[in-house]
Amino acid sequence: MTQAAAPTTGDARTALEARARAMLDRGPAWLAAHRRGALERFAARGFPTTRDEDWKYTSLQPLARAAWTRPAPPDLARAREALGRLRLHLSGGLTLVLVDGIPVPELSVLPPGLAGISIRRLAEAAVARPEFVEPYLARVAAGGDRPLADLATACFEDGLYLHARRGTCLPVPVEVIHLTMTAGAAVFPRTLVVAEPESRITVVEHHVGLTDAPYATLPVVEVAVGRNAAVEHVLWQDDAASAVHAATVAVRQDRDSRFASHVLTLGAGLARNDLGVGLAGEGAECTLDGLYLVFGSRHADHHTRVDHWKPHGTSRELYKGVLDGQATGVFNGKVVVHPGAQKTDAQQANHNLLLSPDATADTKPELEIYADDVKCAHGATVGRLEEERLFYLRSRGLPEQAARDLLLRAFARDVTDRISIEAVRARLDRWMTERLPALAGREEGA
Amino acid sequence: MLEIVGLRARVGGKEILRGVDLTVRAGEVHAIMGPNGSGKSTLAGVLAGRETYEVAGGTVTLDGKDLLGLAPEERSWAGVFLGFQYPVEIPGVTNATFLRAALNARRRRRGEPELDAVDFLALVRRKMKALEMDEAFLHRSLNEGFSGGEKKRNEILQMTLLEPRLALLDETDSGLDIDALRVVAGGVNALRAPDRAIVLVTHYQRLLDYVAPDRVHVLSQGRIVLSGGPELAKELEKKGYGWLQTAGTAGAPARS
């Protein structure tokens, strides 16, 4: 995938299970029990293979076949230098920085006077605030067959705890920058967001690699959205081209709550996102948007699952992908309307644009409906850039590359427009301006 | 100004243009008429650089400069403008973004400073007013959901903004009601200038009631089989194209 040296070829399972065993007694007893259970499940099951239905189109060989190491102590000077250009610099904004999955307070920016918001290291919150952490940590992301989340639960050392107290509306987004710096390491960033009733919080999690050598990052994000609360979450993945990024995002929503997710998959050689939302209270609403720009010989797989458990729930989902070179994209969107979830309104769409004859996209909607008074719709397309559109723009004097870029942006536009944070939209726009011409069709490995 | 000699072109292996000769001088308006399938749209497309057509022979020059070797955008920079028979819808690109990008692409090529948003808006508003277009068009996605008449007006708007040397209008009059036709024709007439050539490709005489051509040509089976003054259009209106088919196949020399 790149020129950089791969970590020692070996067995990730052996290396990571050993690491998990060393973590078994860390934290309070309830957490240790989760770790033990997660490790037992993973040890019995191992990494998924393409024989597993949910992994049919995504081979985890690049993850499974390397003896990933523990991260080294961070080089703060280098991190600080990178943060200068990575930070969104929102006025009055706060930036929390994790290096290789571990919070680094010296690099973070926390303005004073954040009433109603509690921000802590997760390991510390698990001890100090068990009443808020125990009900959610390793529980929101539990259930079903989730080997990678299990592995992460068994291995993670620390993470971030964000808590909005009842009625608190945080006016600026919480910016979280996850830097991976150790070549050859496996890292397990962990985030827990607890939004109490009537609160409102926006979290932008930005994943970036500061090494060109392969690494593996397996983030787990758990979000509990209280009654009538609102959470907006951006997972902005710009990991290194040689990296494996396999994220699990799990959300539980109470009555009348709103959750908006924006997944931006721009990097990583192998990217897999599992996003699961449980609408556990009546009248809850979620919006799941995703944009994946996949070039060269990269692979990006997005699996989403929405469980409608209660009546009057709404889910809206729009994922769009642009694929070039020999890139491959997978979208699998499952919507389950459970018995009794009447008046559910679920819509899902996935559209893919193939820029080269060798790029492919697999898209699969799955609807399971066990209630009779519901409205569910889905649509999926895989298409190519229309030559006639390109000719039209060129005939008006736009150079070919500019015309292609314009059409690409136009394609992505309805997803990007829905991100409420102007600074993120602007950054994404700049990313496209700088990277699209260079990436198009002639990237590494293409 | 525009010189076409022996132009032959194929689509999917089928020869559509079979030796077209045409000279258009600066300041002139020419109409190219002919029955469906005669090659009119192919001719316009080949001149603008549509890549689905394969040029099999002949030469095309604009001001002595070879056009056939140029990419579509290079032809645009050289002053060629094609008004599309079926303008393309592009969701997600606003008309304003598109128009400004097109205008500035050309200005950059000419070493002129780019227009900022304010200057651009002032210019485009003035042009839109002349075409009786609502400003709301600027903020809608390019041609998306536009009526046929709105699309054609938008083509004329682009033409007036880009101020081409050679304007090719491919069936710009098709699908227009009489009011829209009058506005579109007004836009074309306003663009008539001593240093500009306009070629109207049309199936109907109707447009020529509003835009008086200097020359009228009849294209049939891939060749120009007849050329004349404005009166030729009237004659075609009366007699139709049927009588020409035989003239074409017999290889009758074009009156010119």
What pLDDT digit, counting tens, does each position of A220-232 carry?
A: 999 999 999 999 9
Q: Residue B249 has what pLDDT?
A: 45
DSSP letters along A378-392, please?
EEEEEEE--HHHHHH
Residue ranges of the alpha helices (H) in chain B?
40-48, 72-78, 95-109, 117-130, 148-162, 178-191, 231-239, 242-249
Q: Does a structural domain hold residue A446?
A: no
Number of Cβ within a 10 Å radius of residue B82: 29
Q: Which residues contact A178 (CB under 8 A, 6 or more apart)?
A: A98, A101, A189, A205, A206, A207, A208, A217, A219
Amino acid, single-letter form, for residue A273: N
Number of Cβ within a 10 Å radius of residue B185: 22
Q: Is the pLDDT of residue A26 over 90?
A: no
Q: Residue A3 has what pLDDT?
A: 39
CA distances from B168 to B40, B45, B211, B224 (A): 11, 9, 14, 17
CB contact under 8 A, A396 and B102: yes
Q: Is the pLDDT of residue B254 over 90?
A: no
Amino acid, single-letter form, for residue A18: A
Q: Residue A438 has what pLDDT?
A: 58
Number of Cβ within a 10 Å radius of residue A375: 11
Q: Is the pLDDT of residue A442 over 80?
A: no
Q: Residue A8 has what pLDDT?
A: 61
A90: confidence class by pLDDT, cuts 50, 70, 90 = confident
Q: Taking residues B223-234, what's their average pLDDT?
A: 90
Q: Is the pLDDT of residue B256 over 50?
A: no
Compare A401 and A48 and report the one with higher pLDDT: A48
Q: Residue A5 has what pLDDT?
A: 46
Structure-token pair, residue A3: 């020129």
Q: Chain B contacts of A399, Cβ < 8 Å?
A: 73, 105
Q: Is the pLDDT of residue A111 over 80?
A: no
Q: What angle do CA A248, A160, A304 make, to 5 degrees?
A: 15
Structure-token pair, residue A212: 């060109």
Q: Taking residues A263-277, what's their average pLDDT?
A: 97
Q: Residue A439 has what pLDDT?
A: 58
pLDDT digits (tens, 9 = 90+) for A212-267: 999 999 999 999 999 999 999 999 999 999 999 999 999 999 999 999 999 999 99
Residue A355's φ and ψ, nearest 5 degrees, are: -95, -15
Q: Chain A contacts of B93, Cβ < 8 Å?
A: 406-407, 409-410
Mean pLDDT of chain B, nearest integer: 90
CB contact under 8 A, B90 and A398: no
Q: Residue A6 has what pLDDT?
A: 52
CB contact under 8 A, B72 and A394: yes
Nearest to B50 among A391, A406, A413 (CB): A391
Q: Does a structural domain hold residue A2?
A: no
Q: Residue A441 has what pLDDT?
A: 47
Q: Residue B243 has what pLDDT?
A: 72
Structure-token pair, residue A361: 């996209």
Q: Is the pLDDT of residue A70 over 90?
A: yes
Q: Residue B167 has what pLDDT?
A: 96
Q: Does a structural domain hold residue A357?
A: yes
pLDDT digits (tens, 9 = 90+) for B72-100: 999 999 999 999 999 999 998 999 999 99
> Domain range for residue A120?
12-438
CB contact under 8 A, B75 and A399: no
A401: confidence class by pLDDT, cuts 50, 70, 90 = confident
pLDDT digits (tens, 9 = 90+) for A312-336: 999 999 999 999 999 999 999 999 9
B97-103's contacts with Cβ under 8 Å and 24+ in sequence apart are B97/A406, B98/A393, B98/A396, B98/A406, B98/B142, B99/B124, B99/B138, B99/B157, B99/B158, B99/B161, B101/A398, B101/A402, B101/A406, B102/A393, B102/A396, B102/A397, B102/A398, B102/B158, B102/B161, B102/B162, B103/B161, B103/B162
| Chain B interface includes A429 (CB < 8 A) | no
Instruction: Measure the CA–CA gap between B82 and B151, rounded to whole angstroms.
Output: 14
CB contact under 8 A, B72 and A387: no
* CA neighbor of A212 nearest in space, from A168, A156, A151, A269: A269
Give the single-character DSSP code of B6.
Answer: E
Q: Does a structural domain hold residue A283?
A: yes
Q: Does a structural domain hold residue A7?
A: no
Nearest to A398 among B84, B105, B141 (CB): B105
Q: Does a structural domain hold residue A1?
A: no
Tell me what ipTM this predicted complex has: 0.93
Q: Does a structural domain hold residue A5?
A: no
How many structural domains compose chain A? Answer: 1
Q: Is the pLDDT of residue B183 over 80?
A: yes
Q: Residue B255 has what pLDDT?
A: 45
Q: pTM (2 decimals)?
A: 0.87
CB contact under 8 A, B102 and A407: no
Q: Does a structural domain hold residue A444?
A: no
Instruction: Measure the CA–CA gap between A314 and A345, rounded to whole angstroms.
Output: 5
Collapsing DSSP to helix, strand or coil, A353 comes out as strand
Q: Which residues contact B10 (CB under 8 A, 6 or more apart)?
A: B16, B53, B54, B56
- Mind telling me how many Å the CA of A417 is from chain B's nearest CA? 10
Q: Is the pLDDT of residue B161 over 70?
A: yes
8 Å CB contact between A182 and A210: no
A171: confidence class by pLDDT, cuts 50, 70, 90 = confident
Residue with tokens 């692979």: A299
A18: confidence class by pLDDT, cuts 50, 70, 90 = very high
| Chain A interface includes B92 (CB < 8 A) | yes
- Mind telling me how many Å the CA of B206 is from chain A's nearest CA? 27
Q: Which residues contact B151 (CB under 8 A, 6 or more apart)?
A: B87, B143
Q: Residue A437 has what pLDDT?
A: 65
Instruction: Measure the CA–CA gap between B195 and B25, rounded to whole angstroms.
Output: 9
* CA neighbor of A252 nearest in space, from A273, A229, A271: A229
User: Which helix (H) or strand (E) segment is A400 a member of?
Assistant: helix A400-416
8 Å CB contact between A229 and A286: no
Structure-token pair, residue A371: 């209630």
Q: Residue B37 has what pLDDT?
A: 85
Q: Residue A112 has what pLDDT?
A: 74
CB interface of B with A, residues 32-51, below 8 Å: 48-51
